[in-house]
Structure 1
Amino acid sequence: MIRKLLIANRGEIACRIIKTARRLGVATVAVYSDADADALHVQLADEAIRLGPPPAKDSYLDADRVLAAARRTGADAIHPGYGFLSENAGFCRACEQAGIIFVGPPASAIEAMGSKSAAKRIMEEAGVPLVPGYHGENQQPALLQEHAREIGYPVLLKAAAGGGGKGMRRVDDPGEFHSALDAAKREAMNAFGDDLMLLERYVVSPRHVEIQVFCDQQGNGVYLFERDCSVQRRHQKVVEEAPAPGLTPELRDEMGQAALRAAHAIGYEGAGTVEFLLDADGSFYFMEMNTRLQVEHPVTEMISGQDLVAWQLAVAAGEPLPKRQEQLAIDGHAFEVRIYAEDPDNNFLPATGTLVRHRPPVDSESVRVDTGVQSGDEISVHYDPMIAKLICHGRNRREALAKLDRALGQYQIAGLRHNIDFLRRVINQQDFVAGRVTTHFIEDHESELLQAERALTALQCAGIAAYLHERERRDLRAAAPAEDPGSPWHCGDNWRSGLPARRRHNIDIHGRHVGLETEVVDGAVSWCCEALGEAGRGEIRLLPGSELALVDGRRMGFSCVDTAEGGAVFVGDCQVEFRVLPPDLGEAGQHAGGLEAPMNGTVIALLVEAGSAVEADQPLLVMEAMKMEHTLRAPSAGVVQQYLCAEGDLVDGGSLLIDFDSGEPA
């Protein structure tokens, strides 16, 4: 039995493990970096130990420090969560040598699946279907390109030690092969310290279907059905659901049995996921096995009624599996979406900053929020920008989808860009509702899913108008002189000696400038926005003492919060964050002739020499932030006059990195 558990992770998974351990009567120890000293997982745990400074390599990835924390606190087991040390065979072996239980598979199983090329060979021997490809050790670029020609384009370059889309590139044309190989190798080396690549035929319109497996130390194994994770961006999952739509019981069992063969072939123990590509004709191919708990495991818990973290702790303690295969059944349908700090309208650029408000929907039997953050926390450049996972369950797919849309409409986030509106467009898109998804879903519907990011609605305008009026009243009250607090000039009710005052406000909503006029009569705010045409006018009245408003006679929820440069408004199931601009913006804030860092990060490559003439859209500089590479490109043909940074520099978002001359006449 495990009595004290150290969680070698952070964020929502650390909080999730702590809550399960507490329910089972297991004491918990959190570890943290300086960036996470006040994090939610630290507050929840019974004890907490500092590991080091914010960079993961100096804290969460430092195996010696994690083991020292376990020894210091007397922990008899370590749960690695996912990411960081969860698939590190050396760390697993070090735990064994220290007499500490590693909540996961044996080191030999991690090693077997740690190399994608070695995993392919093992799967082939176990009779698990494989995509045609090259998995050899010879990495000569010419040889790899020859294998790509034999496989047939398009091909997929994949880091053998990788995961999560890192070190992965699709190549459609032989002329692109070497540049794609260089980029994939560089990203793989930065992420995993290993740039060994493998090649696979690129299945053009597949689905990503994965099987949850579980094995104990007695040799028993079960599969807990499948998850469809086809909706992805940059090979990172966006929406997951269980069971997979349209999968027959026969195909489900065939894939489940193949996944169990894969697990037994490497002597697996604990929770694992076998990922497959599912072709339109029902053929499926092994992609990889993740030797850990997956981010999307809650949807499996929702449809199976099982607590997979509790299963992990039981199996790690030597107990047999809690259920046999015939005792497991699917109950209803579940979805999970990942709430990220990112800008979907700007190539999903990660966002950093203060989470001014984080107000998720209330947990219930059918709605669950897994998060590791709370209002006031910082989303930093050091870690993945995921804010939370929202999971919803229903009796069927349609009901689960309706609950998910409603819960997303209730979710309130302010202070930085996020993807909630984007997620709502995804799950309401006609093909998604019908279950017609592939791994290219977002690309195929890009104009429909992303362009709407700039849309402005009457409800948003009404909310902004109410916020601006309330802010003015608050400021006037605060400015009232102590010797004359009843002065009508500071009452904040829009009193004037003549006609009601009409205000014009300049608003910036994610780069779009909008003029909004407001007028207050008897406490009701009338607004007008020419940008919306005939529909661009209305009235909103806030109801005192509650978070409610009457919007053109409709009663609905309303709340607002100040942000660093403006405010955020939540009205009904609609939200908008905005900046209040000065009356004459002019050219303020524009950097003529320069390229700025899109966010905080590290400069990892300068791609051309200073003084070089370049073409429009030519890559100039590569940054790394939040475990992803971001390329700055030439905005037009011109000359790179000079770099204002060097490789290895840590730079702030908005700082000038390149002095660029477009060559255009003044």
Structure 2
Amino acid sequence: MRLLVANRAEIASRVLRTAKRLRIPTLVVYHPIDSDLPFVREADQAICLEAEPPRGAYLDGARLIQIAKNEACTHLHPGYGFLSENAAFVESLEHAGLGFVGPRADSILALGDKQKSKELLRQLQIPLVESFELSEAKQADFERAANQIGYPVLIKPAAGGGGKGMIRVDRPEDLWEAVQSSRRVAQASFQDDRVLLEKYVESARHIEVQVFGDGEGKILALGERECSLQRRHQKLVEESPCRFLSPEVRLRLMRESEKLATHLKYRSAGTLEWLWDGSDQIYFLEMNTRLQVEHPVTEETFGIDLVEWQLKLALHQEFPERVPEQKNHSIEVRLCAEDPAQEFLPSGGKIYRLDLPEEVRADFGYRTGNIVSSEFDSLLGKLISVGETRKEATEILLRALEGLVCVGPKTNRAYLIQILKSNAFERGEISTQFLSAFPAQFDYLEAIRWIRQLGATGPGQNVTDPDAETEDLDLYSPWGGCGQNNQEADWWADFDGRRYFFPSFADWSEEIGPAKAVAETESSSDQTESEIRSPMPSKILKISCSEGEVVSKGRPLISLEAMKMEHQIRAKRDCVVKRIFVSEGQQVLPESVLLELGDLDGED
């Protein structure tokens, strides 16, 4: 076997690690933006591919197949995302005489497509959430379907997964905008703009079952994972097993999952996702016909390597005879370059320092000195703990998170700590709605922690020097400035868009810990309420207003794309749009002025 890993960052490094242990020669492709990432160096060979947009380097199936043939590769591993659930690509790969490390194309067609999978599931009498596929439908068709099943509803791509393009809609007036947004994301992420409309099940838990098949009808169900803690329908915290399932519900989940996978003679790793209402009712959501981001918690509790199983199956080596015994408890958290305090807007820029804890498994795609690009998703990596009990696994993971150092882009590290420390998490009182009501509290101690980690020096400036200048060349630096202040506090430092005041920096070279923040005000930014600015490097996807238009609070104004996600800027008050400074398709930098708004009475 010679293996082409057609992916990037964390998952590419993950697959390469197992391939190296099995002494399988490897090849990767990469876009120039990714040239310094670890996976490029970890492969035996790396080929640079120019593409615009950059994600095209990992989505051009014909080009990847030609490279695989030219470089004498025998198999391709897709990782997750990109082409991992593209049946046409798998067929083309196999027609070219290359092996796909994953399921057959017919399984992807039947299960990777949400609507087709639901037709099959109805035949197998597996419980479903009510839904409609409205591929070519007009606005009125969506409105009729939503009214039929009742709000809230969920709009999501018919192909692909990972939470991309999934939008909850609570009001009829927001429905069509959500449909258009989901279609744009679906086309950009999966090359397929079909969407589904389904009933949104509130206060449910998200449980998934890992299966592995030999392609001839033998299926192993490798326990369940609890994945209820999500933001924007993307998982943040996953664990296995779910300690709150009754034996009866667990048995139903395993049997129903095995029934479907057996019917299809499923090959390789796959995951069936379910909603559980907390009592005895389960609803099938979808099947992801690929390796999942959260697969490590299954590996850690069963003592297996799913990538090794995939590669050995592709080589027609011996298939495991039975499901290993599941032991202990494992929890995974995803460290993402995003700002929880700003509705999880993605961040980016240079990682000045990244120190990973040694007491847990750390699957990361970045290292110190790497650049986190806004062209790709925000996942930096994952921390995975194992303990004899859920409580022990939580405590181990908390220590690891508190010891992790990531200086550069904003991350959700502090937010993850807050989640794991919450009483609700400890008691298991969680659902898919939990994080929507969980506040992102920012502690000023995080600013102090940054200063300590940087040796009291921010990128391009010394925070103890009142004459220091801001680093103008670094668009992502969290340090907006520093200096003396005329208020009671002696010193201030801008950090993550906030200004923090400190009584003294004089002794911080010796001891930073005792320092206290004594005041906090708004950032010194000259942005006013009348200006709407870009919160990140992004592309203008859609402008939903016009100059002179009166808009109400909550109305979508502009849709931005960054890190493979679409983000909407909405009006925070009733106002009038005075000027629009950008156009659709335009690339903008952080803090670029997008709109000027005015009060309805004519005053800014």
Instruction: Give the TM-score normalised by structure 2.
Output: 0.89
SS of equivalent residue, structure 1 residue 258: helix
- Structure with bigger gyration radius: 1
The answer to whether the Cα contact below 8 Å between 1:52 and 1:59 also exists between their aligned partners in 2 is: yes
Tell me the amino acid that sits aligned with residue 330 of structure 1.
Answer: Q
- For residue 326 of structure 2, what is the aligned residue in structure 1? 330
SS of equivalent residue, structure 1 residue 31: strand
Cα distance in 1 for residues equivalent to 2:571 and 2:507 = 51
- For residue 623 of structure 1, what is the aligned residue in structure 2? 560
1:314-359 per-residue CA deviation (whole Å, 9 max, x = no partner) reads 111223422313xx21110000000000000000000010011111
Cα distance in 2 for residues equivalent to 1:418 and 1:48 = 29
SS of equivalent residue, structure 2 residue 320: coil
Cα distance in 1 for residues equivalent to 2:509 and 2:302 = 53
Cα distance in 2 for residues equivalent to 1:474 and 1:369 = 34
Matched, 1:402 2:395: yes
- For residue 292 of structure 2, what is the aligned residue in structure 1? 294
Higher mean C-alpha displacement, 642-651 vs 192-201: 192-201
Q: Which of residues 348, 351, 357 is equivalent to 2:347?
A: 351
Cα distance in 2 for residues equivalent to 1:455 and 1:521 = 18
- For residue 216 of structure 1, what is the aligned residue in structure 2? 214
- For residue 230 of structure 1, what is the aligned residue in structure 2? 228
Higher mean C-alpha displacement, 51-60 vs 346-355: 51-60
The answer to whether the Cα contact below 8 Å between 1:333 and 1:395 also exists between their aligned partners in 2 is: yes
| Structure 1 residue 115 displacement after superposition | 2.0
Tell me the amino acid that sits aligned with residue 249 of structure 2.
Answer: L
CA distance 1:238–1:148, change in 2 (3 Å): same
Q: Which of residues 369, 379, 388 is equivalent to 2:362?
A: 369
The answer to whether the Cα contact below 8 Å between 2:464 and 2:505 also exists between their aligned partners in 1 is: no
| Structure 1 residue 457 displacement after superposition | 7.8
Q: Which of residues 531, 539, 542 is equivalent to 2:518?
A: 531
Cα distance in 1 for residues equivalent to 2:121 and 2:507 = 73
CA distance 1:462–1:634, change in 2 (3 Å): closer
The answer to whether the Cα contact below 8 Å between 2:501 and 2:519 also exists between their aligned partners in 1 is: no
The answer to whether the Cα contact below 8 Å between 1:276 and 1:285 also exists between their aligned partners in 2 is: yes
Tell me the amino acid that sits aligned with residue 658 of structure 1.
Answer: L
CA distance 1:142–1:475, change in 2 (3 Å): closer
Cα distance in 1 for residues equivalent to 2:552 and 2:169 = 22
Cα distance in 2 for residues equivalent to 1:8 and 1:51 = 12
1:153-203 per-residue CA deviation (whole Å, 9 max, x = no partner) reads 322223222422233232334444344334333433443343333332222
Q: Which of residues 394, 408, 426 is equivalent to 1:433?
A: 426
| Structure 1 residue 516 displacement after superposition | 1.6
Cα distance in 2 for residues equivalent to 1:664 and 1:510 = 33
Tell me the amino acid that sits aligned with residue 119 of structure 2.
Answer: R
SS of equivalent residue, structure 1 residue 20: helix
| Structure 1 residue 12 displacement after superposition | 1.0
SS of equivalent residue, structure 2 residue 140: helix
1:523-572 per-residue CA deviation (whole Å, 9 max, x = no partner) reads 85597646279xxxxxxxxxxxxxxxxxxxxxxxxxxxxxxxxxxxxxxx
Structure 1 residue runs of 4+, over 6 Å off? 471-476
| Structure 1 residue 265 displacement after superposition | 2.7
| Structure 1 residue 637 displacement after superposition | 3.9
The answer to whether the Cα contact below 8 Å between 2:109 and 2:116 also exists between their aligned partners in 1 is: no
Cα distance in 1 for residues equivalent to 2:523 and 2:252 = 64
SS of equivalent residue, structure 2 residue 490: strand
Higher mean C-alpha displacement, 411-420 vs 140-149: 140-149
- For residue 341 of structure 1, what is the aligned residue in structure 2? 337
- For residue 476 of structure 2, what is the aligned residue in structure 1? none
Instruction: Give the TM-score normalised by structure 1.
Output: 0.81
SS of equivalent residue, structure 1 residue 608: coil
Cα distance in 2 for residues equivalent to 1:421 and 1:407 = 12
Tell me the amino acid that sits aligned with residue 504 of structure 1.
Answer: D
SS of equivalent residue, structure 1 residue 42: helix
Cα distance in 2 for residues equivalent to 1:398 and 1:207 = 20
Cα distance in 2 for residues equivalent to 1:153 and 1:373 = 41
| Structure 1 residue 108 displacement after superposition | 0.8
- For residue 105 of structure 1, what is the aligned residue in structure 2? 103
Mapping for residues 78-477 of structure 1, pairs under 5 Å: 78-135=76-133, 139-325=137-323, 328-362=324-358, 364=359, 367-444=360-437, 446-447=438-439, 450=440, 452-456=441-445, 460=449, 463=452, 467=456
CA distance 1:248–1:517, change in 2 (3 Å): same
Cα distance in 2 for residues equivalent to 1:322 and 1:415 = 44
1:3-29 per-residue CA deviation (whole Å, 9 max, x = no partner) reads 211100011111111110111111111
Cα RMSD of the aligned pairs, angstroms, is: 3.0
CA distance 1:54–1:15, change in 2 (3 Å): farther
SS of equivalent residue, structure 1 residue 94: helix
Cα distance in 1 for residues equivalent to 2:345 and 2:218 = 44
Cα distance in 2 for residues equivalent to 1:416 and 1:368 = 22
The answer to whether the Cα contact below 8 Å between 1:208 and 1:230 also exists between their aligned partners in 2 is: yes
Cα distance in 2 for residues equivalent to 1:595 and 1:389 = 34
| Structure 1 residue 629 displacement after superposition | 1.2
CA distance 1:161–1:101, change in 2 (3 Å): same
Cα distance in 1 for residues equivalent to 2:41 and 2:348 = 22
Segments of 5+ residues of structure 1 without an aligned counterpart are 477-501, 534-580
| Structure 1 residue 465 displacement after superposition | 12
Cα distance in 1 for residues equivalent to 2:232 and 2:36 = 31
Instruction: Report how many aligned residue pairs link the two structures.
Output: 579
RCO comparison, higher one (Cα < 8 Å, 6+): 2
Higher mean C-alpha displacement, 423-432 vs 509-518: 509-518
The answer to whether the Cα contact below 8 Å between 1:216 and 1:318 also exists between their aligned partners in 2 is: no
Tell me the amino acid that sits aligned with residue 645 of structure 1.
Answer: V
CA distance 1:184–1:372, change in 2 (3 Å): closer
CA distance 1:656–1:101, change in 2 (3 Å): same
- For residue 12 of structure 1, what is the aligned residue in structure 2? 10
Tell me the amino acid that sits aligned with residue 467 of structure 1.
Answer: A
| Structure 1 residue 80 displacement after superposition | 0.5
SS of equivalent residue, structure 2 residue 518: helix
Cα distance in 2 for residues equivalent to 1:43 and 1:233 = 33
The answer to whether the Cα contact below 8 Å between 2:451 and 2:457 also exists between their aligned partners in 1 is: no
SS of equivalent residue, structure 2 residue 137: coil
Tell me the amino acid that sits aligned with residue 81 of structure 1.
Answer: G
CA distance 1:21–1:380, change in 2 (3 Å): same
Higher mean C-alpha displacement, 182-191 vs 380-389: 182-191
Cα distance in 1 for residues equivalent to 2:568 and 2:494 = 26
Cα distance in 1 for residues equivalent to 2:426 and 2:569 = 36
The answer to whether the Cα contact below 8 Å between 2:577 and 2:596 also exists between their aligned partners in 1 is: yes
- For residue 568 of structure 1, what is the aligned residue in structure 2? none
| Structure 1 residue 109 displacement after superposition | 0.8
The answer to whether the Cα contact below 8 Å between 2:271 and 2:290 also exists between their aligned partners in 1 is: yes
Matched, 1:614 2:544: no
Cα distance in 1 for residues equivalent to 2:130 and 2:74 = 44
Cα distance in 1 for residues equivalent to 2:523 and 2:226 = 49
Q: Which of residues 513, 517, 538 is equivalent to 2:503?
A: 517
CA distance 1:461–1:408, change in 2 (3 Å): closer
CA distance 1:270–1:519, change in 2 (3 Å): closer
- For residue 554 of structure 1, what is the aligned residue in structure 2? none
Cα distance in 2 for residues equivalent to 1:321 and 1:301 = 16
- For residue 575 of structure 1, what is the aligned residue in structure 2? none
SS of equivalent residue, structure 1 residue 38: coil
The answer to whether the Cα contact below 8 Å between 1:15 and 1:41 also exists between their aligned partners in 2 is: yes
Tell me the amino acid that sits aligned with residue 237 of structure 1.
Answer: K
SS of equivalent residue, structure 2 residue 58: coil
SS of equivalent residue, structure 1 residue 453: coil
| Structure 1 residue 504 displacement after superposition | 2.6
The answer to whether the Cα contact below 8 Å between 1:139 and 1:196 also exists between their aligned partners in 2 is: no
Cα distance in 2 for residues equivalent to 1:135 and 1:224 = 31
Tell me the amino acid that sits aligned with residue 235 of structure 1.
Answer: H
Tell me the amino acid that sits aligned with residue 413 of structure 1.
Answer: C
- For residue 496 of structure 1, what is the aligned residue in structure 2? none
Q: Which of residues 36, 45, 48 is equivalent to 2:34?
A: 36
| Structure 1 residue 506 displacement after superposition | 1.4
| Structure 1 residue 459 displacement after superposition | 6.9
